[in-house]
Amino acid sequence: MHTLRNDYAKYACENDDVETADVIEESGWKLVHDNVFRPPQNLALLSAVVRTGAQLATLVLLTTRFNNVTLFFKLPRRAIVTTFIVCYALISFISGYVSDGLYSRNAGENCAKSMVLTASLFPFLCFGIGFILNTIAIFYGSIARIPLGTVVVVFVIWAFISLPLSLLGTVVGRNWSGMPNNPCRVINIPRPIPEKKRYLRPSVNSLVRGLLPFASIFTEIYFVFSSLWKYMVHYYVYGSMLLVFIVLIIVTVCMTIFGTYLLLNAENYHWQWTSSFSAASTTICYILLSCKD
């Protein structure tokens, strides 16, 4: 830690005079220390993606904990879905806080764009997918189609609960955690990224980092999918599910940090999107597992 503090102090120095600086041969992440905190491309979209992840993670933690201490799983399916939607709307403040805090810390200028994208990206994506599936269900006369009244109720919940709370969280996040506080300064001219081996490329790096988090909870996910494939709608072991979800978060965080370190050692400072994709790549394994039958 003492060595790292000395490195931070040296890299934060604004004086580039070689006579006052220690000239040493550096390699790995030290070569890109002045580019690490460069704002990523599509910052508003990245903030919205991080916002969605934070909100969904909070929703899963709350619902699994709530199921563990109550008889929530014995409610009708429609009541459970309604509860999920209302809980998602009520925790929109967290998403706005996380999103705009990240956007402002990276010197984002178009706060209005970030605010709108944050509040509407995931809900509109779900609405689009639901609209397509509902249209197909109506075309084939399925009883699983969603009534128009339900769609209106969901839209009202989003417009009058989720959207205002998200905007409030955006304002609070901008004022409380939106000040840039980087330990190293960022130079004006981006450093060229050298060509590396294939296994060090961001795409490969992200996919590989998703395997270990998936393996850590494979057994539990397999039993969940088995219950669904056998038409066992209810799942009761929510205490175990909560523990497994916490393990998933810890393993994902550790793998993301390790992968980011490898990426920076490869002199590639585009770590923000790569870190997000590495955490999301675990879902590819879940999709393949769910489609096996």
User: Which tokens go with 274?
Assistant: 């790569």
User: Which tokens go with 209?
Assistant: 């980092």
The pTM score is: 0.79
At residue 284, does pLDDT exceed 70? yes
Angle 30-35-41 (CA atoms, 0-180°, nearest 5)? 145
Q: Is residue 194 part of a domain?
A: no
Q: What percent of the chain has pLDDT over 90?
A: 4
Q: Which domain holds residue 80?
A: 42-187
Q: What percent of the chain has pLDDT over 70?
A: 80
Asked whether the beta carbons of 266 and 200 are under 8 A apart, the reply is yes
Q: Is residue 62 part of a domain?
A: yes
Name the pLDDT band for 156 (thresholds 50, 70, 90). Answer: very high
* Residue 132 pLDDT: 92
Q: Is residue 221 part of a domain?
A: no
Q: What is the mean pLDDT of the chain?
A: 79
Q: Is residue 79 part of a domain?
A: yes
Q: Is residue 246 part of a domain?
A: no
* Residue 160 pLDDT: 92
pLDDT in tens, 160-196: 999 999 989 888 888 887 677 777 778 888 888 887 7
Q: Is residue 247 part of a domain?
A: no
* Residue 17 pLDDT: 45
DSSP letter string, 13-65: -----TTTS------GGGGGTTTTTSPPSSHHHHHHHHHHHHHHHHHHHHHHH
Q: Is residue 168 part of a domain?
A: yes
* Residue 182 pLDDT: 74
Asked whether the beta carbons of 87 and 95 are under 8 A apart, the reply is no
Q: Is residue 208 part of a domain?
A: no
Torsions phi, psi for 196 (to 5 deg): -120, 175
Number of domains within the chain: 1
